[in-house]
A and B are shown apart, each in its own frame.
Chain A
Amino acid sequence: MSEELLNLTLHVWRQDGPNDSGRFETHKANDITTHMSFLEMLDVVNEELIENGKLPIAFDHDCREGICGTCGMVINGVAHGPQKLTTTCQLHMRQFNDGDEIWLEPWRASGFPVLKDLVVDRTAFDRIIQAGGYISIRTGSASEANEMPIAKEIADQAMDAAECIGCGACVAACPNASASLFTAAKISHLSLLPQGQAERQDRSRKMVAQMDAEGFGGCTNHGECEEACPKGVSLRWIARMNRELVRSMVKADAPIENRKR
């Protein structure tokens, strides 16, 4: 938490492509101000790499204001780094000390194959959403905003679940690389609201089947995902997803489709 300039040693996962086995590379990050964000620090390192004719470290980023869910890497063994409730882009260098060694790794999961360096393919999440994370609505002219009354408590809960930005930190942090927290947040968000009732019966089965088909592991209730989640999405949604799934198994009789990627 100081004003000084930091000199850091980075151990960065470098992987040329999906089929490369990958290795760690050590880079120096010198004269880093504590006001920089973590990604700005990497920008500085990359500038230097480019100047020296080397390939820059590839990492995902977009809004850099902690709301889009694009960025993310495992920093010293913790998804999104040491600050709670914070995405990598909103992590600032004041969280580090001069002389620190920092290990940078991509999300490691079979469902998230590494594309290059710290960039992973998270389209598995898109396919889980496509499987059932949608609602049927009447298109055409906009309906009256208060046509459908929703209790404040329900709206608040749905919003809590909907805070998930789909960054994948839950998968990265889970000892089983399970996508339960992500899938549960989406299922819960939609199942709470009246707009989500039309597909409710099938949604949990379709999304869970897709989650399994993507090769993610199962939940063992360790709670690592909740701790790593930059939006504080709660484990209670996983309990809700489990209940939704059993409920749909008991109520409907269509078998789960065997989905392939």
Chain B
Amino acid sequence: MQRALTLQQTTIGKKVIMALSGVIIVGFTLGHFLGNLNLYLGPEAMDGYAEKLQSLPPLVWGTRLVLLFAFGAHISSALSLWVRNRQARGSRYEKRKDLATDYAARTMYWSGPILLLFVVYHLLHFTILPAHPGEVYRNVVEGFQNPLIASVYIAGNLALGFHIFHGIFSAFQTLGANHPRYNSYRRDAAIAISAAITIGNLSFPLSVLTGIVTL
């Protein structure tokens, strides 16, 4: 207990907790995306996949519990660091020029809360209050045929892409994965993973909107 407590007490420890919980969430997001590819195999595949998952309550609830814990740790560390980092500057610069900060890094504190709202909406939409319980394929297609709902998903996934791009790169750095020979690949890996998840996820609402996937 003492060790966990001391790690949490330092700024670096909080970052380690952010990185580890982030890795868990990104890992789930990747699996979630791969499972959703069943959409392209038709209603039977999609609904069958959902039923298969639901028939394994320990897996479903285990995953939910781990995710809940990861989200809690991620958000509480973020809030604590955010407060600290604001206090650390003290007075603001009149002129300030960023030399290295990219768009994703600059917007982390915005993309984070946006993603939280999106996750809540997403859970309400498909898990907690689905239009047709048990008919996953129909819920997805009918939902995305509404341009407003589809655009919420598109915006949410764009925020996800930027957030996990900086997050994955940061996780390498925070967890100390650092080697002069491989350092240039850390950014490439962050781009590859975040682009794969984002483009894949964006393809679902876009293919429904364009009529490639229909009821």
- Our verdict on whether A and B bind, yes or no, reads yes
Chain A interface residue number, banded? 35 or more
Min CB distance, B111 to chain A, in Å? 13
* B10 lies within 8 A of A208 (CB): yes
Q: How distant is the Cα of A216 from the Cα of B178 in the complex, in angstroms?
A: 24
Contacting residue for A253 out of B3, B9, B106, B175, CB 8 A: B3
* A110 lies within 8 A of B89 (CB): yes
Min CB distance, B205 to chain A, in Å? 31
Closest to A110 in B: B90
Task: Knowing A24-B94, A217-B84 are in contact, say whether A239-B6 is a contact too (CB < 8 A).
Answer: no
How many residues belonging to B are interface residues under a CB distance threshold of 8 Å? Answer: 45
* B98 lies within 8 A of A224 (CB): yes
Residues of A within 8 Å of B76, CB to CB, are: none
Q: Say yes or no: is A226 at the interface (Cβ < 8 Å to chain B).
A: yes
Q: Say yes or no: is A215 at the interface (Cβ < 8 Å to chain B).
A: yes
Closest to B15 in A: A218
* A227 lies within 8 A of B100 (CB): yes
Task: Knowing A108-B92, A178-B88, A249-B7 are in contact, say whether A220-B105 is a contact too (CB < 8 A).
Answer: yes
Task: Knowing A76-B95, A217-B11, A218-B81 are in contact, say whether A175-B101 is a contact too (CB < 8 A).
Answer: yes
Cross-chain pair count, CB within 8 angstroms: 150
Which of A56-64, A86-94, A133-141, A240-248 lines the interface with chain B?
A: A240-248
Q: How distant is the Cα of A216 from the Cα of B85 in the complex, in angstroms?
A: 7
Min CB distance, B9 to chain A, in Å? 6
Closest to A240 in B: B178
Q: Say yes or no: is A53 at the interface (Cβ < 8 Å to chain B).
A: no
- List 14 additional contacts besides A74-B93, A175-B85, A218-B12; criterion CB under 8 Å: A108-B93, A110-B87, A178-B88, A211-B11, A218-B84, A221-B174, A239-B173, A239-B178, A240-B178, A242-B12, A242-B173, A249-B6, A249-B7, A255-B6
Q: How distant is the Cα of A221 from the Cα of B173 in the complex, in angstroms?
A: 7
Give 8 A-B contacts (CB < 8 Å), ordered by A residue: A24-B94, A176-B88, A216-B88, A235-B173, A236-B180, A241-B12, A246-B12, A256-B9
Min CB distance, B166 to chain A, in Å? 7
Closest to A245 in B: B12
Q: How distant is the Cα of A221 from the Cα of B97 in the complex, in angstroms?
A: 17
Q: How distant is the Cα of A103 from the Cα of B101 in the complex, in angstroms?
A: 21
* B88 lies within 8 A of A215 (CB): yes
Min CB distance, B96 to chain A, in Å? 4
* A239 lies within 8 A of B15 (CB): no
Q: Say yes or no: is B176 at the interface (Cβ < 8 Å to chain A).
A: yes
Contacting residue for B105 out of A215, A221, A240, CB 8 A: A221
* A223 lies within 8 A of B101 (CB): yes
